[in-house]
Structure formats: structure tokens, C-alpha cells
Amino acid sequence: MNNTAVSMIAGVWLAVILLQSVPTTSQGADGPPNIIFILSDDQGYGDLSCYGSDVIATPNIDRLCKEGMKFESFYVHNRCSPTRASFMTGCHAGRTGIGNVVYRWEGNGINKDEITVAELLKESGYATGIVGKWHLGEWDAFNPIRHGFDSFFGFLHSDDKTKALFKNLEVVEKVKTQTDGIHSPKLLQAGIDFIKEHQDEPFFLYYASPLPHTQWNPHPDFVGSSKQGTYGDVVQEIDWQVGGLLDTLDELGLTENTLVIFTSDNGPQLNVDGHGSSGPLRDGKWTNFEGGIRVPCLMRWPGKILAGSTNDEITGIIDMLPTFCALSGAEVPTDRVIDGKNILPYLLGEKVESSIHDTFVVPGSTILHGDWKLLVKDQNPGGNGNKGMQGRKPAKAGSLFNLKDDLGETTDVSSQHPEMVQQLQQLMTEYMEEFNANKRPIGWVKGYSEERANETKRAQRETKAEKKKDS
């Protein structure tokens, strides 16, 4: 029997179990579908066999491709917390105040007034559970069970101060200062247990694997299993986890009425040796080049989604909330702006007169409209820091790319198409006027504020600069 591992950022997460009882209802064969949403961490567009990798074997994830729909233009944000905020709220992360990674020392996280996809599904009779990485706040106020989830088995933080915050919880164990493969079987088993416990009612499982985030430390059963070093090994470990979930659905007879989605929270981290692949896309994590925000996405719902189909329309993680609402009968919130749209027509193969999205915006940074992409803000390889990114070129604000002809964003054609530059700049200006008028605040715990967080950041930068100077 294989075992697997869970890779975590050093000293960031604490394993906890939160299990609460939920009401039992009956689910008919034609009732609302179960939903399993699987989110990997820092996995690139080119890191799956079905997306072209010849060094990483992913037969279970490839099964989703063969039996479902492959999305080729699926967009997220370029970092962990923003993408997860978008998934939970159906909005661009900046609209909810979570435009950056959430850290415990900042004292912030998802606002209590946000309406999450878990809350909406729960109100529609779904059992809701999360397994794995949360990353939307590491204080009690931001715990997933306070934002629509009936149960949580996963990671918040690993220091003693956070442990003290959760005196009412059973602490499973602290994640070691380096990532360790011992956790993966526990996460998978938690996912399997959730499915089995709720097999007689509609359920929503958010399975947020912390793999393949650095550092890569695969379980011994997977060491050397790929042709892509330890990175490939942990991706194949993810594939094993996906296989375990799919096998459970098969065993329980739940496959036909379960929508399974697999995607990643952003592109690969490229400034480390042995990193993943963005495939034909430019750059990776921390950037708004295609390699940072376009990720693999597969959706399977037997009998509903055509097996072996492909979709190249603009879609994104912001679309999950309205789509899940359409599936469950829940109402999309009308008291706030929701950026996502219902893409169920794509899944069901229905005729769509015009694209559901003709534009995808990274607010204030880039805008994609049809085949055209304009950089409104400078883009540096590897994000703000170029460590390990020698040889990769930045791109200036005003650069224009035609993704139909140049998916790798290699050639700036702004001088040949000034009218398109002007059009996209105007679209961004109009979008930002609306966006800024309808932004919502991030949540804060008592005693913390944006001013305090900024002071802490400044102090950290000064300390780092002093250490560098001394060295």
C-alpha cells in the first residue's frame, strides 16, 4: 500500500482537526451533484502529462482529462492567498482586500462579512468540508468553520502562539521546520472519510493540497518516481491523492453524480533549482505573465460533461462560486459585486451566443481582451525579486501581446497596434473606476490594523537591509 506526503512551507502551518456534526438529508440519483474541488499549490501549466509533460506521470489526473473537459485558458491570481480568496468569494482578490499573501503576524484574513461559496452551499443543504491548506487567516476569527465549513482537517500555523489560540481544538501534530511527507496519507484519509461520512447527502469537499510548494520532500514511496527530480516526485504524489479520491467515488457508486475539478493556485516557482514548468507560457509565480496566472484545470462530471472535450474560452477561479450556485440552486449574492460568472453552459456543452468572458483583468496590472493582452504595470521575472531569474527579461508597462500568435509573450507589438493599446488602456481605466468604488476591506483581529502591518513590514525590510549590509 502506498503512502504519501504533504509538503509545507517551513514553520507556517499547524495541523488541526475540527469536526462538527451536520444534518443528514437524502440524495436522489438526480439530485444536486456532489462537488470535489482539488487545488494544488504552485503547480505549473506544463506539469501534467495531459498538458504536455513527458517527465511527470499523472495517470489519475489524466483520467479527469480523458473523462471530462480540459480548460486551456483558466485564470487565477499569481499567489496563494489571493487565489484562495477568489475561490471563496467569486471575486478578484483585491476586491476583498486580499491582494497579497496573508501572514499571521499581520493579524488579518478573510472578512467575516464576506459571503463564501461554502456558506452558500451549506445553506442549500450541502455538507461542507475542507482538507489541507487554508491560507486566508491564521487566527480564530478566520478559521474555515467560521466561514461556511462544517469540518476542517488542515493547516493554519505551527508556532506555540497559534497553538494557544486553538485550545478548544485537538492538535494533531506540529508541522516540522521542513516539509515532511508523513502528512499526506492523513490528508487523503481525511478526504476519504469526509466522502464516506456524507455519501447519502450532497457534499462539497475542498481538497487543498499543499503540494508541490517548496521545499520538496516527497514521501519515501515517491522518491525517484519521476524524471523531474523531487519536484516531479511530489507532483506524482498529488496524482496518487487524486486517485485515492476518485477510487472512493467509484467504490461508493458516487462517480456519476459528482463534479470533480482539479486546478492550481498559481504557476510554478521558477527561482529554485529543479522547479516546475509553465509549458509554453512565460514565467511563473509572482508575475502576471501567463505562466503566473494561467493554470491547468480539468473538470469531470460523467454524463454531463463530454468526455475528452476541450475549452479554450476565458474562464477562471472567480467563476466557481456562481457556477456552484447554479448547480446547487443557491442564489448568487446581489448585495455586492461578484466578478465571476456561471460557466455551467460550457460544462454542459450548450450553445453560447457570445463568450461568457471576453475580458480577464488583473486589476491595475494586466488586461486580456480576446486575443490581446496589455501590461499596464511593469512585469519582472520571478516577481519583485529577480533572484535566480538571470536570463529572463522583464517587460515594461505598455507592452502588448497577441496570445493567439504569441502564447509565450515573446514579442511586444504595441508599436504596430497603437489603437489596441489605447482601447485596452481605456477598458482598464473604466474597470478600475468601478473596482475602486466597490472594494471591500480585509478582516482584522483586535489590536491589528493596516498601519500596524505596514510598520512591521518596514521594520522587517530595515532589519534585512542591515543584515545584508553587515554581511
Dihedral in degrees, nearest 10, Cα atoms 402, 408, 412, 414? 20
Spatial separation of the C-alpha atoms in residues 461 and 471, rounded to whole Å: 15
Q: Which amino acid is at 280?
A: P
Spatial separation of the C-alpha atoms in residues 402 and 432, rounded to whole Å: 23
Rg of the Cα atoms in the chain: 21
Q: Please give the distance of CA 102 from its chain centroid, rounded to a whole number.
A: 14
Strands, E assignment, 20-126: 34-40, 69-75, 108-109
> Phi/psi zone of residue 349: left (φ > 0), alpha (ψ -120 to 50 degrees), beta?
left
80 catalytic residue (yes or no): yes
Retrieve residue 70's grid coordinates. Answer: 480540459
Cβ atoms of residues 99 and 84 within 8 Å: no
Which residues are bridge partners to 216 per DSSP? none
Q: What is the DSSP letter of 398?
A: T
Q: Which of 77, 91, 92, 135 is catalytic?
A: 135
Dihedral in degrees, nearest 10, Cα atoms 139, 141, 147, 152? 40
Which residues are bridge partners to 151 per DSSP? 19, 129
3-state secondary structure 48-64: CHHHCCCCCCCHHHHHH
Spatial separation of the C-alpha atoms in residues 153 and 170, rounded to whole Å: 11
Q: Which amino acid is at 444?
A: W
Crossing angle (nearest 10°) for helices 184-197 and 229-252: 20
- Do the bridges between strand 315-316 and strand 69-75 make them parallel or antiparallel, or are there none, so unpaired? parallel
Spatial separation of the C-alpha atoms in residues 148 and 136, rounded to whole Å: 13
Spatial separation of the C-alpha atoms in residues 215 and 301, rounded to whole Å: 34
135 catalytic residue (yes or no): yes
Query: Which residues are CB-contacts of 306 (< 8 A; sequence separation ≥ 6)?
Result: 69, 349
**Where do the H-state alpha helices sit in 98-204?**
117-123, 160-165, 184-197
Dihedral in degrees, nearest 10, Cα atoms 192, 198, 202, 207? -30
Q: Which of 65, 77, 80, 357 is catalytic?
A: 80
Cβ atoms of residues 358 and 336 within 8 Å: no
Dihedral in degrees, nearest 10, Cα atoms 22, 25, 28, 33? -30
Element (H, E) at 264: strand 258-264
Q: Which residues are catalytic?
A: 80, 135
